[in-house]
């Protein structure tokens, strides 16, 4: 098993890139909301299989109220993000939509500081600024 968080993060980026490409092709002849539903059902089936294979089930009653609240909020945010993403993919090129979607990196940095008390030094903020500027330059072709 890969123990490095960086490798998992790179995997997430690579699969997110494929999500944009496959999604752009997938929404070409279908309503974007229906496409999101189909994508979600595939994800649910995959996750059921992974959790079952790993034996990662636990009694739902052992999950704290706070955990439930924040996982539900996260799920709602994910759903809203996917709906917006697929709608944008129907309307524009994937190479324009995906960079703007990745402004989430900038927002996570800001929200992490504001809501989680995370600390960023000037080099980190410079990187965040570069990401924001790069996003604009790629998306505005």
**Which sequence spans correspond to the domains of the chain?**
5-101
Tens of pLDDT, residues 63-88: 999 999 999 999 999 999 999 999 99
- The DSSP 8-state label assigned to residue 30 in this structure reads S
**What is the average pLDDT across 126-139?**
92
Note the pLDDT of residue 6: 87
Note the pLDDT of residue 121: 98
Note the pTM of the prediction, 2 decimals.
Answer: 0.82
Q: Is the pLDDT of residue 62 over 80?
A: yes
Task: Provide the pLDDT confidence category of residue 140 given band limits of 50, 70 and 90.
Answer: confident
Q: Is the pLDDT of residue 141 over 80?
A: no
- Please report where in the chains the tokens 């996260």 appear, as a residue: 74
| Residues, the chain | 141
Most confident of 36-50, 93-107, 127-141: 36-50
Q: Are 134 and 99 in contact (CB under 8 A)?
A: yes
C-alpha to C-alpha distance for 114 and 81, rounded to whole angstroms: 21
Note the pLDDT of residue 2: 63
Q: Are 137 and 96 in contact (CB under 8 A)?
A: no
């Amino acid at each position: 098993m890969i123990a490095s968080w960086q490798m998992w993060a790179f995997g997430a980026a690579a699969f997110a890139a494929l999500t944009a490409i496959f999604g752009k092709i997938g929404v070409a002849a279908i309503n974007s909301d229906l496409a999101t539903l189909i994508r979600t059902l595939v994800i649910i089936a995959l996750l059921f299989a992974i959790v079952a294979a790993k034996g990662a089930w636990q009694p739902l009653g052992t999950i704290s109220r706070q955990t439930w609240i924040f996982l539900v909020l996260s799920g709602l945010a994910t759903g809203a993000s996917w709906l917006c993403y697929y709608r944008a993919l129907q309307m524009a090129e994937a190479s324009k939509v995906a960079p703007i979607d990745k402004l989430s990196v900038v927002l996570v940095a800001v929200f992490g500081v504001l809501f989680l008390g995370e600390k960023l030094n000037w080099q980190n903020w410079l990187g965040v600024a570069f990401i924001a500027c790069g996003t604009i330059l790629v998306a505005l072709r």
